[in-house]
Structure 1
Amino acid sequence: MKKFLNSTDTLLEESLRGFALAHADIVRYCAEPHYIARIAPSRPGKVALISGGGSGHEPLHSGFVGFGMLDAACPGQVFTSPTPDQMLAAAQAVENGGGVLFIVKNYAGDVMNFEIAGEMLDCSHDSLLVHDDVSIPEHQGMGRRGIAGTTIVEKIVGAAAEAGADLAACKALGEKVVHATASMGVALTSCTVPALGKPTFDIADNEMEMGVGIHGERGRERKQLASASEIVDYLAAIIDEELRPARGQSVLLHVNGFGGTPLLELNLIYGLAYQYWSQRGVNVARSLVGNYTTSLDMAGCSLTLTLLDEEMLKLWDAPVHTAALRWGC
């Protein structure tokens, strides 16, 4: 294994320091406990949006801190939930009279620790659970995982909070976006966790893993490597069956890379997915292509489709200024 690091023990802290230095006009870094927060204070009464999760998924979540998205992000160690004290400290630092909304991906550690932080927080607060991974049956175990659709949720709810929506309205909007969003991923390789030093699972050169998560988990089935067209048809058919977009329905199509797939290939995947839904009369009104919810160095990608209404479309287009997303500012 070859990695740019000094020590696995200091990797997260050194990375966060570097990130904050690179984007010092947008964010600040608190070292103890770890969190990233907006450097510019939000307006009084604005709902504070806080998310977080294990590191290794960059730019999720720290890269989405800034105007129009998150007020703070709590990064845990690689693929490890942040701790309640991180979440509590971040909430206390950015709460500005409008209460706090925690945006939580549906993983046991994240859910439990955000709940504990909420119990210790002495201001109005609520949680929004993201569960967009349709590779998992809806009622299996803890239910579906939160994956690349989290970016869509954070952008749309972030715009609403910036525009003055209150805590209840932000949560209701977030739930609407979650229920209108479905994602599924495919991996061509595993990823290598620095502390482990080897791939999390073995896969042959002529195989692919369908329905992978973002923590190096195996998928729901292993298949022989197929053409890009066949892969897109497989993923898109499952998403389409879940959401059942009507002819003329406007959608946002997000092709997300897992960290080890070049844009040359991600753009090819987007073109095929665009063709898949366009041929069915669906209006692909907005797009997002790139590495936004990664899994360290995994080669692979996911498709995300969100059914848009006029409110969601307007909020997606609203100005945003973060390290990873910026337009209209």
Structure 2
Amino acid sequence: MKKLINSADSLVTDALHGMAVAHPGIRVDPVTRIVTRAGGPVPGKVGLVSGGGSGHEPLHGGFVGRGMLDAAVPGEVFTSPTPDRVLAALRAADSGSGVLQIVKNYSGDRLNFAMAAELAEDEGRTVRTVVVDDDVATSDSATGRRGTGATVFVERICGALAEQGADLAAVAEAGERVNAASRSIALALTPCTAPAVGRPGFELGPDEIEFGVGIHGEPGLRREPLRPAHELVSQALEPLLAQLPPGGPSILVLVNGLGATPLQELYVVLSEAAGVLGKAGLTITHSLVGNYVTALDMAGVSLTVCRVDSGLLDLWTTPVDTPALRWGC
């Protein structure tokens, strides 16, 4: 294992310190290790909190700022943050208008964020939760679809609406709509290596890919031969489109690198995806291409498609200013 770290134990703390140095618009609490807006909660605005295991950077701390989150809670690598730390984030984000939690559908995240919400409500705070579950690779799982790339879309739309002064019920409803309209799928060219483990999560031959992989390094649905990008993208989009809810033709698309994929290759994926989606009668109105929801050093890609109407598109284009997403400012 070759990594630019001091130790596995200090990795998250060290990375958060560097993030705070790089981005003066955020603040990292040295005790709770939560990431917040430097200026604190915005008076009268619904607070937005998200989080989960580290290793997915820039998710979630990279999306703290105007037009997205008010606070993020990074756990240890691939490990849910504890309820007391989530509670600290809820307190930090609450300006008196309530707080929305955006939680990926993993058992640890759901449990710990639910416990934190109960503790916050015991303090007299109002908390709502939106669960993101967009991964079609786990549609048949007993726990339901995993939460992956659609988290970015939910955080962005909810953040934009909250910034406009909408109330907690409206912001939560928008998040639920975006999640319901989104589906994702991922494939890996290489596994990832968690620093505390020191070895890859699974093994792939030089001419193999893992189809339907998870963002925590979970093996996928099946192993297949490596083929040209147009074949892989077409195959990946087939189950995604089959499970995409009905609606209008306008879509948001996320072509997400899993940590070690060159941007050049991600643009190839978008090129191929645009052709497949166009043939399906869909129109890409906006796209994101790059590393947004990673899996440490995994090479591969995830694709997320979200159906949107004119109202959601208007929200998408409003100003956003975070370490990882910025426009209109």
- Partner SS state of residue 34, structure 2: strand
Deviations 1:227-271 (A, max 9, x none): 10111001111111111556x611111100000100010000001
Q: Runs of 5+ in structure 2 lacking a partner?
A: none
Aligned to 2:138: 136
Deviation of 1:29 after TM superposition, in Å, equals 0.5
- Partner SS state of residue 96, structure 2: coil
Aligned to 1:217: 218
Aligned to 1:2: 2
Q: Counterparts of 1:259-298 in structure 2 under 5 Å?
A: 259-298=259-298
Deviation of 1:41 after TM superposition, in Å, equals 3.3
Deviation of 1:40 after TM superposition, in Å, equals 2.2
Q: Counterparts of 1:71-150 in structure 2 under 5 Å?
A: 71-121=70-120, 122=123, 123-138=125-140, 140-150=141-151
CA–CA distance in structure 1, aligned partners of residues 283 and 5 of structure 2:
45
Please, what TM-score do these two structures have when normalized by structure 1? 0.97
Question: Quick check: 1:159–1:316 contact (8 Å CA) kept in 2?
Answer: yes
Deviations 1:27-56 (A, max 9, x none): 000021220000123432211000000000
Q: Counterparts of 1:19-58 in structure 2 under 5 Å?
A: 19-24=19-24, 26-58=25-57
- Partner SS state of residue 235, structure 1: helix
- Partner SS state of residue 155, structure 1: helix
Deviation of 1:285 after TM superposition, in Å, equals 0.9
Please, what TM-score do these two structures have when normalized by structure 2? 0.97
Aligned residue pairs: how many? 326
- Partner SS state of residue 75, structure 2: strand
Deviation of 1:165 after TM superposition, in Å, equals 1.1
CA–CA distance in structure 2, aligned partners of residues 245 and 258 of structure 1:
28
Structure 1 residues 231 and 111, CA gap change in structure 2 (3 angstroms)? same
CA–CA distance in structure 2, aligned partners of residues 88 and 214 of structure 1:
25
Question: Quick check: 1:253–1:274 contact (8 Å CA) kept in 2?
Answer: no
Aligned to 1:200: 201
**CA RMSD, aligned part only?**
1.1
CA–CA distance in structure 1, aligned partners of residues 14 and 30 of structure 2:
10
Kindly report structure 1 stretches of 4+ aligned residues shifted beyond 3 Å. none
Q: Name the % identity.
A: 51
- Partner SS state of residue 311, structure 1: helix
Question: Quick check: 2:87–2:117 contact (8 Å CA) kept in 1?
Answer: yes
Deviation of 1:280 after TM superposition, in Å, equals 2.7
- Partner SS state of residue 29, structure 2: strand
Q: Which amino acid aligns with 1:147?
A: T
Deviation of 1:225 after TM superposition, in Å, equals 1.1
Q: Which amino acid aligns with 1:285?
A: T
Q: Which amino acid aligns with 1:40?
A: G
- Partner SS state of residue 306, structure 1: strand
Deviations 1:200-240 (A, max 9, x none): 10111111100011000000111111110111001111111
Question: Quick check: 1:190–1:216 contact (8 Å CA) kept in 2?
Answer: yes
CA–CA distance in structure 1, aligned partners of residues 88 and 313 of structure 2:
33
Deviation of 1:93 after TM superposition, in Å, equals 1.6
Q: Which amino acid aligns with 2:117?
A: G
Q: Which amino acid aligns with 1:96?
A: S
